């Protein structure tokens, strides 16, 4: 099954030396928000980022599992993972962000969504079958630069009783299943519709055929 890898986002940041509520309000008025960067046994670094850029980043569904390339000033560039966001209680816009520095050897536990595609090409679903999704995501341990964006399972040709398990997806190199997930765990299966569903579908198809010119 297909796996899509995450592209690293780039977020430009500016060093800052002022702290306190007054300094934070001043930053926000100028279109920026205060942030801190920590980790890897290094001193905490204070930076500011564009409010617009941070809002766009936070709007992503995979925000906390997405590695960001933070470019500080003109010379420094580090890989970080968003760890916390303080938001305005009414508008929800970001007011402050925390980033943790990550290294290539660091593994992150995260949930990768599973997307089922080409349902319109499944004979069973065409006849009223239902895709019963048991696990909409798979929990992995991944290096920060090898995080998959999603897994895709193709339903083309899938009939009644078709079942898809964790072992049917390709785990990226360097990643592994978390202890909470087993390779035989079922992601989804296709079940028959309630009694009468197939008969009703057949009747509709027969009626359509009867009204089609040239059909015997």
pLDDT in tens, 193-213: 876 544 554 544 444 344 344
Q: Give the global pTM.
A: 0.60
Which pLDDT value is given to residue 206?
45
Tally of CB atoms within 10 A around 38: 15
pLDDT at 146: 78
What are the structure tokens assigned to 175, written together? Answer: 């990643």
Do 185 and 92 share a domain, yes or no? Answer: no
CA–CA gap between residue 102 and residue 84 (Å, rounded):
15
Q: Is the residue at 82 inside a domain?
A: yes
pLDDT tens digits for range 108-130: 888 889 999 999 999 999 999 99
Number of domains in the chain: 2
Domain boundary among 101, 125, 142: 101
* Least confident span in 68-77, 102-111, 155-164, 207-216: 207-216
* Final residue in a domain of this structure, among 71, 101, 131: 101
Sheet strand arrangement including 2-5? 2-5, 148-154, 108-117, 137-142, 176-177
For residue 1, give the nearest of 92, 112, 96, 114 by alpha carbon: 114
157 or 103, higher pLDDT? 157
- Out of 85, 101, 117, a domain closes at 101
Domain, as residue range, for 145: 108-210
Mean pLDDT (the chain, rounded): 83
pLDDT of residue 62: 73
pLDDT tier, 58 (very low <50, low <70, confident <90, very high otherwise)? confident
Per the domain annotation, does 190 fall within a domain? Answer: yes
**Is residue 215 included in any domain, yes or no?**
no
Residue 216 within a domain: no
């Amino acid at each position: 099954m297909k796996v899509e890898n995450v592209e690293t986002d780039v977020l430009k940041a500016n060093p800052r030396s002022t702290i306190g509520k007054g300094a934070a309000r001043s930053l926000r008025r100028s279109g920026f928000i205060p942030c801190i960067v920590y980790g890897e046994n290094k001193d905490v670094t204070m930076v500011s980022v564009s409010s617009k850029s941070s809002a766009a980043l936070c709007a992503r569904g995979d925000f906390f599992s997405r590695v960001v390339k933070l470019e500080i000033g003109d010379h420094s560039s580090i890989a970080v993972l968003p760890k916390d966001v303080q938001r305005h209680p009414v508008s929800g816009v970001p007011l402050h962000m925390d980033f943790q520095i990550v290294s290539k050897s660091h593994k992150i536990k995260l949930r990768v969504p599973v997307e089922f595609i080409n349902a319109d090409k499944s004979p069973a679903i065409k006849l009223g079958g239902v895709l019963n999704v048991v696990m909409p995501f798979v929990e992995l341990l991944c290096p920060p630069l090898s995080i998959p964006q999603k897994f895709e399972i193709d339903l083309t040709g899938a009939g009644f009783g078709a079942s898809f398990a964790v072992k049917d997806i390709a785990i990226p190199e360097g990643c592994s299943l978390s202890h909470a997930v087993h390779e035989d765990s079922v992601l989804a299966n296709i079940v028959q519709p309630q009694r009468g569903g197939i008969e009703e579908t057949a009747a509709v198809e027969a009626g359509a055929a009867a009204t089609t010119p040239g059909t015997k």
